[in-house]
């Protein structure tokens, strides 16, 4: 007799917290991508070890499991795997389209203003010198201009996800342990994927998969298993203590006079805090932020449906489109500040205009989908599904 597999419960209830924090993460990524931007000082990367990328990847893993978990349980590995790979192809096409527009934007600005530094800063110089070879490498995801590293990472993670999701459903603990083992092996043996023309991927998929898989694990019952620990006052105070410690360390980066507060042995042990391989200090910092967020922002918090948070929620509901738009807008903002005026007022103005354009675009997509839903008479798909997939 075949063993009975205890499949996890997959919720279909919409969680606006995912949309909210994914939308905020998109805004923070945009602000961080604008060089010499005073508003970037208000993003979380300046006050701890992690940044908006961790938020984005975790939520992506969570929503991928949310979207495709039920399909794999009800319809099997082949159907769910085909849907995941279909969405992977759609995101790959979006990446190629974004690459084409982004490179054209950089090349036009560099030639029109006779400033080759734009191409050099955006890591596009090789494309201008060898466009034939570079295009091929871009299609292979090996060549990536600056600020275009996240989508290739997500594409690779989705390619692996059918097998990961199958294992998560059958034995979530084994799946998470395998992810941790791959993460440890990556650090031990230095695994990564080669980039073109030199170097390796800025976001190492073998390391960042841990955060993605952890998000999926939480969606498939892991969050419920962690709930008692998250409600514990001990967890809360440990998280607060770690966040304060990380904040104290980052202060020494920006105020050299405080460097004496960092013991030499501690600095030798901590540094460098590697973003490429998702340093464990960054992962722990994200966990501390997540623990406090879950504790103080409940799922049924009425403010989540308030008009004040609606702009961020809308951006989170259309994350693929808004992320691509943010990459384009970040370079446009950089160009305006370099060529015209880069003072504090302009930095604030351009940042606000960029976010307003992102919100306006999200509003347009939301309106269009609502109209199309009414015309076709089909139910609206879960908003959490946007980046993960088009089918719930």
Answer yes or no: is pLDDT of 341 > 90: no
The CA distances from residue 35 to 29, 330, 350, in Å, are 12, 8, 12
pLDDT at 129: 84
For residue range 44-67, list pLDDT tens digits in order: 999 999 999 999 999 999 999 999
Q: Please give the pLDDT value at position 390.
A: 47
For CA atoms 150, 151, 152, 157, give the dihedral sign. positive
Taking CB atoms within 8 Å and a gap of at least 24, the contacts of 359-362 are: 359/311, 359/314, 359/315, 361/318, 361/321, 361/322, 361/325, 362/23, 362/311, 362/314, 362/315, 362/317, 362/318, 362/321, 362/322
Determine the Cα–Cα distance for residues 380 and 392; give it in Å rounded to an integer: 10
The chain-wide mean pLDDT, for the chain, equals 90
Q: Per-residue pLDDT averaged across 181-196, rounded?
A: 96
pLDDT in tens, 247-276: 999 999 998 888 888 888 998 899 999 999
Task: Taking residues 163-187, report their average pLDDT.
Answer: 97
Average pLDDT over residues 313-325: 95
Specify the pLDDT at position 117: 82
Convert the pLDDT of each residue in 344-365 to its tens digit.
Answer: 999 999 999 999 999 999 999 9
What does the pLDDT look like over 122-157, one tens digit per residue? 888 888 888 889 999 999 999 999 899 999 999 999
pLDDT (mean) for 198-221: 96
Pick the more confident residue, 183 or 10.
Answer: 183
Q: Please, which residues have CB within 8 angstroms of residue 19's CB and are 6 or more apart in sequence? A: 312, 313, 314, 316, 317, 383, 384
Q: What is the pLDDT of residue 378?
A: 56
What's the pLDDT score for residue 376?
65
Which pLDDT value is given to residue 386?
A: 58
Q: Quick one: what percent of the chain has pLDDT higher than 70?
A: 92
Please determine, for residue 374, whether its predicted confidence score (pLDDT) is greater than 90. no
Boundaries of every domain in the chain:
16-372+380-385
pLDDT recorded at residue 324 = 95
């Amino acid at each position: 007799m075949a063993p009975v597999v205890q499949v996890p419960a997959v919720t279909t209830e919409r969680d606006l917290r995912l949309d909210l924090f994914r939308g905020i993460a998109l805004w923070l990524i945009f602000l961080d991508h604008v060089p010499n931007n005073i508003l970037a000082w208000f993003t979380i990367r300046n006050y701890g070890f992690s940044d908006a990328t961790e938020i984005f990847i975790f939520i992506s893993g969570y929503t991928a499991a949310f979207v495709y978990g039920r399909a794999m349980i009800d319809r099997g590995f082949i159907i769910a795997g085909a849907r995941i790979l279909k969405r992977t192809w759609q995101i790959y096409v979006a990446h190629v389209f974004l690459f084409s527009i982004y490179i054209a934007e950089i090349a036009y600005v560099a030639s029109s203003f006779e400033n080759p530094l734009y191409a050099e800063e955006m890591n596009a110089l090789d494309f201008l010198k060898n466009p034939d070879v570079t295009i091929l490498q871009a299609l292979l995801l090996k060549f990536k201009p600056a600020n275009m590293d996240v989508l290739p990472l997500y594409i690779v993670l989705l390619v692996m996800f059918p097998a990961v999701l199958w294992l998560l459903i059958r034995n979530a603990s084994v799946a998470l342990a395998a992810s941790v083992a791959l993460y440890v092996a990556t650090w031990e043996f230095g695994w990564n994927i080669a980039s073109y023309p030199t170097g390796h991927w800025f976001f190492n998929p073998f390391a960042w998969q841990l955060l993605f898989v952890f998000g999926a694990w939480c969606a498939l019952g892991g969050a419920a298993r962690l709930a008692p620990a998250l409600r514990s006052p001990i967890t809360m105070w440990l998280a607060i203590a770690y966040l304060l410690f990380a904040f104290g360390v980052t202060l020494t980066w920006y105020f050299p006079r405080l460097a004496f507060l960092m013991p030499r042995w501690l600095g030798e042990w901590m540094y460098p805090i590697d973003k490429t391989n998702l340093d464990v200090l960054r992962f722990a910092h994200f966990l501390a932020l997540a623990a406090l967020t879950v504790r103080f922002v409940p799922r049924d918090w009425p403010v989540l449906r308030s008009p004040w948070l609606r702009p961020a929620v809308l951006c989170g509901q259309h994350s693929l489109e808004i992320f691509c738009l943010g990459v384009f807008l970040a370079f446009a903002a950089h160009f305006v500040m370099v060529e015209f005026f880069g003072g504090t007022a302009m930095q604030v103005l351009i940042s606000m205009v960029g976010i307003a354009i992102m919100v306006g675009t999200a509003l347009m997509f939301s309106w269009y989908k609502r109209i199309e839903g009414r015309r076709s008479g089909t139910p609206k798909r879960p908003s959490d599904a946007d980046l993960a997939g088009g089918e719930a």
